[in-house]
Amino acid sequence: MLGISVDFNAANQAWAAQLGLKYPLLADTRREMTRGYGVLNDDPSAATDPKRIAGYLRAIATVMVVDKAGVVRYIRDSRPRNTIPVEEILAVAEKLR
């Protein structure tokens, strides 16, 4: 398991410690992976909207299962928080074994 964030390593480490995460977080500061997987909020109109600017160039909270070939086998927006269907994700991951 690997988490991806657009934050720098130090921020990722602090966040992981605070949440007690047991998996590494990749720092996608160039936003290449988040953009490539279509989960980057890069709508230019957000940059000029006071209500949306805080999320501009931030990753959309998403859970995905990607196989070894890089093919997305499962994707789900995880907003609002704590709506991640763990059993569903584990079932998809088990099929990939």
Spans of all domains in the chain: 1-60, 63-97
pLDDT at residue 63 above 90? Answer: no
Q: Is 76 left (phi over 0), alpha (psi -120 to 50) or beta?
A: beta
pLDDT of residue 3: 82
- pLDDT score for 57: 95
Provide the H-helix boundaries in the chain.
9-19, 32-36, 86-95
CA atoms within 13 A on the CB side of 75: 12
For the cut 80, the answer to whether the pLDDT of residue 80 exceeds it is no
Query: What pLDDT, on a 0 to 100 scale, did the predictor assign at position 82?
Result: 63
The percent of residues above 70 in pLDDT, for the chain, comes to: 98
Whether the CB-CB separation of 63 and 78 falls below 8 Å is answered with yes
Q: Both tokens of residue 62? A: 């998403």
pLDDT tens for each residue of 16-44: 888 888 888 889 999 999 999 999 999 99
Of the two residues 84 and 74, the one the predictor is more confident about is: 74
